[in-house]
Structure 1
């Protein structure tokens, strides 16, 4: 005799076959975990034109080891400024392979653009002032772009 539990288990297994896994639409407020070398950090992912333009504007604080990662569709020369940003920040410019190639200090409310020297910038990371130095992250360090790609996919996926 087959137990009712076994029948329930088998029927639920059969019913679940062929279903696609759920995907979620992570919004702009979600923090993803990323890494540069052995250093893990949390960042919101700015993808749309509006998200990139708004960035960290009007924030009163950042949690330790938290920031914002800007991911662009293709590499280019970029510039960032600190309009309506009250926090002292550091910014890192990464090339299309995820290599950190430039770092700058950003000053609160400074509307002077900070241009990249390179025209191969695809990722930009803003973190609290001193974060790169504290973590000994210098030019040549690698951002794990597979984690970035996976996070971009999650941000762009539609919910169930």
Structure 2
């Protein structure tokens, strides 16, 4: 029984590493942002849940197989986030600024209100700091592997 205890501490780290398989970076308004890529259902569902912090120059890039209206929520998310929605050409079509962690159900839904292929989540306030505006273009430098 005592041998199993240290393994319990490794499980959260192993889960976090599973999301990082497709790391890369994006550029937006001349700023380079290191991203973890979420390109399958499991990694998109987990997203940035259970994180206590997110560096100013880091984020998560959600990749989908098609352009469609997207909805995100903040269930089990501990930090405020900016959600930037981009179409297949990388053009910013919508953004949700400073989405707050969900403290109780039902959680608020944050929609794209426009078809989007990519969603970039950044620490809350990053979009304002970078001066992001609809029409800005995202340049992606990451290996998605197989998008599912």
TM-score, length-scaled by structure 1: 0.72
Query: What do the CA deviations read for 1:22-44 (whole angstroms, capped 9, x no partner)?
Result: xxxx9522531211231110110
Gaps of 5+ in 1: 1-25
The correspondence for 1:32, drawn from 24, 35, 57, is 24
Report the RMSD for the aligned CA atoms in angstroms: 1.7
- Alignment match, 2:65: 73
Contact 1:37–1:144 (Cα < 8 Å) also in 2: no
Q: State the distance in 1 between where 2:52 and 2:100 align.
A: 14
User: In structure 2, what is the Cα distance between the partners aligned to 1:37 and 1:103?
Assistant: 15
Q: Corresponding residue for 1:57?
A: 49
Q: Distance in 1 between matches of 2:72 and 2:102?
A: 12
Structure 1 position 114 matched with structure 2 position 110: yes
User: Unaligned stretches of 5+ in structure 2?
Assistant: 1-16
> How many residues matched?
125
Structure richer in strand, relative to its length: 2
Contact map agreement 1:90 1:104 (CA 8 A) in 2? yes
Tell me which structure has the larger Cα radius of gyration: 1
C-alpha distance in 1 between matches for 2:133 and 2:18? 30
CA distance in 1, matches of 2:19, 2:101: 23
